[in-house]
Amino acid sequence: MIETLLQTLLNGAASGGVYALVALGYTLVFSVLGVINFAQGALFSVGGYLTFLLMGGRIGVNGALPGWGLPGGLPFWLALLLAAAGSGLVGLLVERVAFAPLRRRNAEPLLALITSLGAGVVLVNLLQLLMGAEGYAFPHGSDALGGLPDALVIAGARIRTIQLLLLLISAAAVLALSLWLERSRGGRALRAVAEDATTAQLLGIHSEAMVRLAFFLSGALAGLGGGLIGVSVSLPGPYFGIGYGLKGLAVLVLGGLGSVPGAIAGGLLMGLAEALVPSEASGWRDALAFAILFVVLLLRPRGLLGRRTVEKV
């Protein structure tokens, strides 16, 4: 009983951590440009597939190059890191094709919702072209986790190691990002651009470079989430990131648009609530998630930690 509860809470916190990653990615871009990057879910997929390939996974029979794979598999942590960086670069590309041309023309910022959605659809379809629509499972066992055992026994309860790693890695990423934003010279500059890009320029801050940095970090967070979910569950198909992207969007609104602590709190609440749905009723998980969103917004229209006016970062 204790074991089940502990495992359930850990599962919830772990997926909550991933939701927080995705929501923070939205938050970063939203703070500097005031728009939602709808390609975030696709970048999540990209991260999952990149991690798979970097760990030595091979392309299936329906892919563009059946049986092809990268030579030599990287250890889990290194693959995850590189996949996050790779997704960040794809995020930069999304900025270049879906956001930058609109900004140059001073177009209505809301148009970026459509262009980024388009970029996301293209990315997912490219993944499908390259990898096929089939699901992929990561190699499991101690090799995959760099020698760590598949399960740990904590306080008499058996815990899947990967779930613990999932929680620790996403918590570390979220913490590192918050500290960087709050304390570092670069973080202060990014927040300055978020508040007033013109004034930031007068202080010598290259606003455009900061916008690109936000897109890179945002893509890297989504990619990290995709890699983590891929390793802990599987890659059910190129569209798998879209669901997480939508869940992250719900978490973003739940926590309060643009609030970093809100994204973290919203992610955890969402993850834990879902985990508490008994497995016989697992079909109701998403319904529960959005019911929570609905109730919270009825009671607190600005989200859990949203500020009075819509403020950014």
Site residues for another protein per CB under 8 A: 185, 188-189, 191-192, 195-196, 198-207, 311, 313
210 vs 277, which CB is nearer to another protein?
210
134 vs 195, which CB is nearer to another protein?
195
Q: How far is the CB of 187 from another protein (least distance, A)?
A: 10
203 vs 281, which CB is nearer to another protein?
203
Q: How far is the CB of 313 from another protein (least distance, A)?
A: 8
Look up residue 70 and give its amino acid: L
Question: How many Å apart are CA 16 and CA 23, to the nearest integer?
Answer: 10
Question: How many Å apart are CA 78 and CA 144, to the nearest integer?
Answer: 11
Q: How far is the CB of 3 from another protein (least distance, A)?
A: 45
Q: How far is the CB of 27 from another protein (least distance, A)?
A: 14
Given a contact cutoff of 8 angstroms between Cβ atoms, the answer to whether 292 and 270 are in contact is yes
Look up residue 28 and give its amino acid: L
Nearest to 23 by CA among 213, 179, 244: 244
Question: How many Å apart are CA 5 and CA 275, to the nearest integer?
Answer: 10
Residue 293: φ, ψ to 5°? -55, -45
Q: How far is the CB of 179 from another protein (least distance, A)?
A: 14
227 vs 256, which CB is nearer to another protein?
256
162 vs 205, which CB is nearer to another protein?
205
Cα Rg of the chain (Å, integer) = 19
94 vs 200, which CB is nearer to another protein?
200
Ranges of beta strands (E only) in 57-171 are 151-154, 157-160
Q: How far is the CB of 251 from another protein (least distance, A)?
A: 22
Question: How many Å apart are CA 177 and CA 3, to the nearest integer?
Answer: 32
Alpha-carbon distances of 137 from 78, 204, 255, 279, rounded to whole Å: 18, 48, 32, 21
